[in-house]
Amino acid sequence: MKKITAILLAVLMILAVVPLAAVAEPIEAAAVHAKMWRDTDAVWAAIDARIAELDASGASEDDIVNAVYDIASAGKGVVEVAREDGKVYFRHESGMENIYDYRVNHADTLIPGTEDYGKVETTLRSLESATDLDVLLLGPYYGQDSSFTNQYRNEAQSIANYTQGNYTIYQGTGVDANACRAAEDYGVIIFDSHGVCMNGKSYLCLTTQNGFTNDDFTSGRAARSGGDALVTGAFWEYYCPDMKASCVWMAICEGMMTNTLGQPLLNAGCAVVYGYSQSVTFSGDYLYEATFWNHMKQGETFADSYDAMIAAHGIYDPYGDAYPVVMSEDDDYPANPDSHQTVYCQWHLPTPSDLVVTDVASVSIPQSNYGVAPTFTAQIVPAINPEGANNYTSTWTSSNESVATVNKKGVVTGVAPGTATITLTVSSKPTSNSTYTYTASTTVTVDNSYLPEEVMYVPVNEVVPGETYVIGFTRGTKTIIMGSEFQNTSNGRNLLAVNATLGEVAGKTCIVSEVTPGQEWVWNSDGSVKNVQKGQYLNLSGNYLSMGESPVQWAYAANDDGQTGTVTNNANNIFKYLGVSNNDVYFGVFMSAYQIRLYRKLVRGSVGVMGDADGNGVANSADALMIMRYAMGDHSVIPADRLAYCDLDGNGVVNSADALKLMRMSMGL
């Protein structure tokens, strides 16, 4: 009896404790959150006070960032601190993330006469629900940073006019957590703000913490920046899991430096996300934005509009160093975001007709045969009728993946000589009331005879009179030929510097390069445009490589044969600026520590085996080892006439990536 009584007492004690524990948990959590805010408030108060002192004394950015780092390191409850590129990251023991960014935290104060920017501007009526046709613009710095103009306000209205939808603009302090949650209801969403990347995450900057919860800050959905908030993609994935098939345009710095904004937005249901790999300038983004959306408003696809934008303004921001990056169902986050990306996304601006479900009536592949060389690709273009059909899903398959593979975009990659049948299967969507399946096929022949005549550039010191060279530089593993790509610039565009030959100026043997009048433009710092009308010779003077009419200072030493020679210069090939000199006025491109060199163009003919370094007609592991030795600096191992066949990835340089690709191919991987 005593034993039973003891057991009953124990059970009663347990039952009595459980409710107390349930009550204790939120009390404990509240205490943790209260401590979190007390500790971080104290850190930010100390940071603000010290910054005010340093600003008053005219301290440099480095001095201010160092001071912020020291204060954060000594902060109560701070367990992690990091510093990079004008930013400081620190995390509280509760999990709250905090970020200071010198550029963002030194934005202009409120612009007089723009107090209305704190309001929400909208054409939506209170009882009307948003649709795919509607446009949302988040502009937290409107009225607070004079750099933000009306360009995106006008664009949002213009896009809505095209789609025949409504537009909403949250601006100033009106861009809070609730405004961010509203993104779930719109077909086009524009972030016109500052952006920050720190500690492996990309953030959208807001000027308020209104509407955010403690859990938002401790779970990583948001970070604190003094009295402001920074939002990462996890916020939308958590609060907006049913976003429409939206297009998100991020006019922010570093939004695509990582995929922590783009991928969660795709996970939440967005169709395509656009952003920049680095800090983008207002001038550069405005150029891109205007051209891109003008093409979209003509009914073009995202991919076509993107291509038109790049064709008009270059591969990356002509005023900065930010590459545009696109993520969609058809576009994975690139392995290197600081490089040119081929975009496939077929999303287009919706109109009322797009809200009507249209079944597929037939599918065909008009081209019955495709030819491609091993390691190269071909795009298969199907015809899906009627035009505008939208009720379908598609699947691509290859009958022989040892010969050719195909991805979900219909891009075929040649693997080995032979033939394969590529089939497209189109079926009605699972949620549709219709049920149908169509197929279409084409034959792909893989053979070296389809090898394209492409070129690559090899740096040279030995030059031969009469041969033509180009001028360029290397950046990482990539070869940049002047005139083929925009460079790292704050107020200029690269010059067309090709057809370099040996010549003589004022009795001195030198390297000369023609510039075609009217072919290249440069921008002055005040925004004006200047056309290069003259300038024939490269002139190295101090830290400037400029286009002028004075003798160049590339030194040329002839060999004993009198037909070849060695090219050098008096600055070890390292230049700070590259630009136009006209009456001592500089328009230029900032080029920190890049090696300017002469390059010889190599042509790859239509006959030859890709990866065949030794020229024996077979590409195997022995060739892969030769390519690896070349990549490690032994440039004598591969004959010059074989180099173009060793550039397996087509990036203009032979390196270890080509060796590894060939090794995997030779092993059947």
Secondary structure of 359-392 as H, E, C letters: CCCEEECCCCEEEECECCEEECCCEEECCCCCCC
Phi then psi for residue 655, to 5 deg, are -145, -170
Can you tell me the distance from the alpha carbon of 194 to that of 554, in angstroms, rounded to the nearest whole number?
Answer: 43
pLDDT band at 551 (very low <50, low <70, confident <90, very high): very low
Q: Which residue has the tokens 């077909």?
A: 187
More confident residue, 651 or 445: 445
Q: Quote the pLDDT of residue 450.
A: 85
Whether pLDDT at 155 is above 70 = yes
Contact 189, 248 (CB under 8 A): yes
Can you tell me the distance from the alpha carbon of 319 to that of 314, in angstroms, rounded to the nearest whole number?
Answer: 11
Lowest mean pLDDT among 221-225, 266-270, 466-470: 466-470
Lowest mean pLDDT among 303-312, 433-442, 607-616: 607-616
More confident residue, 192 or 13: 192
Contact 202, 256 (CB under 8 A): yes
Whether pLDDT at 343 is above 50 = yes
Contact 630, 624 (CB under 8 A): no
pLDDT band at 50 (very low <50, low <70, confident <90, very high): very high
Dihedral angle sign, alpha carbons of residues 277, 283, 286, 287: negative
Q: Which residue has the tokens 């390297």?
A: 511
Whether pLDDT at 662 is above 90 = no
Give the number of other CB atoms < 10 A from CB of residue 40. Answer: 25
Whether pLDDT at 523 is above 50 = no
Q: Which domains does the chain have, with CATH numbers?
A: 2-105 (no CATH), 115-328 (3.40.50), 357-450 (2.60.40.1080), 455-607 (no CATH)
Q: Which residue has the tokens 């990539």?
A: 478
Beta-carbon contacts of 473 under 8 Å, excluding residues fewer than 6 positions away, are 479, 480, 482, 591, 594, 595, 596, 597
When computed from its CA atoms, the radius of gyration of the chain, rounded to whole angstroms, is 30
Q: Quote the pLDDT of residue 6.
A: 43
390-421: per-residue pLDDT in tens? 888 889 999 999 999 998 779 899 988 899 99
Q: Which residue has the tokens 């510039």?
A: 515
Whether pLDDT at 38 is above 90 = yes
Q: For residues 9-17, give the mean pLDDT.
A: 40
pLDDT band at 643 (very low <50, low <70, confident <90, very high): confident
170-192: per-residue pLDDT in tens? 998 889 999 999 998 899 999 99
Lowest mean pLDDT among 76-80, 85-89, 210-214, 589-593: 589-593
More confident residue, 624 or 464: 624
Contact 253, 194 (CB under 8 A): yes
Q: Quote the pLDDT of residue 30.
A: 75
pLDDT band at 229 (very low <50, low <70, confident <90, very high): very high
> What is the per-residue burial (b if ≥16 Cβ within 10 Å, else e) of 397-415?
ebebeebbbbeebbbbbbb
DSSP string, 416-469: SSEEEEEEEEEE--TTSS---EEEEEEEEEE-GGG----EEEEEESEE-TT--E
Q: Which two structure tokens, joined as six digits, stand for 267? A: 């996970």
Classify 55 as helix, strand or coil.
helix
Q: For residues 82-86, give the mean pLDDT.
A: 86
More confident residue, 41 or 577: 41
Q: For residues 186-202, give the mean pLDDT.
A: 94
Cα separation values, 299 from 2, 159, 192, 325, 350, Å:
85, 11, 23, 21, 9
Contact 658, 647 (CB under 8 A): yes
Q: Find the DSSP H helices in 57-181.
A: 61-73, 102-105, 151-163, 177-181
How far separated are the first and last CA of the chain, in Å rounded? 74
Can you tell me the distance from the alpha carbon of 145 to that of 126, in angstroms, rounded to the nearest whole number?
Answer: 30
Lowest mean pLDDT among 120-124, 221-225, 287-291, 317-321: 120-124
Whether pLDDT at 132 is above 70 = yes
Can you tell me the distance from the alpha carbon of 311 to that of 323, in angstroms, rounded to the nearest whole number?
Answer: 14
Contact 556, 566 (CB under 8 A): yes
pTM for the whole structure: 0.61
Among candidates 271, 191, 269, which has minimal Cα distance to 232?
A: 191
Q: Quote the pLDDT of residue 596.
A: 61
Whether pLDDT at 425 is above 50 = yes
The number of residues in the chain equals 669
DSSP state of 491: S
- CA 95 from chain centre, in angstroms, equals 29
Q: Quote the pLDDT of residue 468.
A: 65
- CA 597 from chain centre, in angstroms, equals 27
Q: Quote the pLDDT of residue 538.
A: 38
More confident residue, 311 or 11: 311
Can you tell me the distance from the alpha carbon of 654 to that of 101, in angstroms, rounded to the nearest whole number?
Answer: 39
429-456: per-residue pLDDT in tens? 877 788 999 999 999 999 888 887 777 8
pLDDT mean across residues, the chain: 77
3-state helix, strand, coil in the chain (%, to 5): 25, 30, 45
More confident residue, 81 or 9: 81
What strands, in cross-sheet order, belong to the sheet with 222-225?
78-84, 87-92, 97-101, 222-225, 228-231, 201-206, 195-198
pLDDT band at 510 (very low <50, low <70, confident <90, very high): very low
Contact 611, 662 (CB under 8 A): yes
453-474: per-residue pLDDT in tens? 777 877 776 666 666 666 666 6
pLDDT band at 476 (very low <50, low <70, confident <90, very high): low
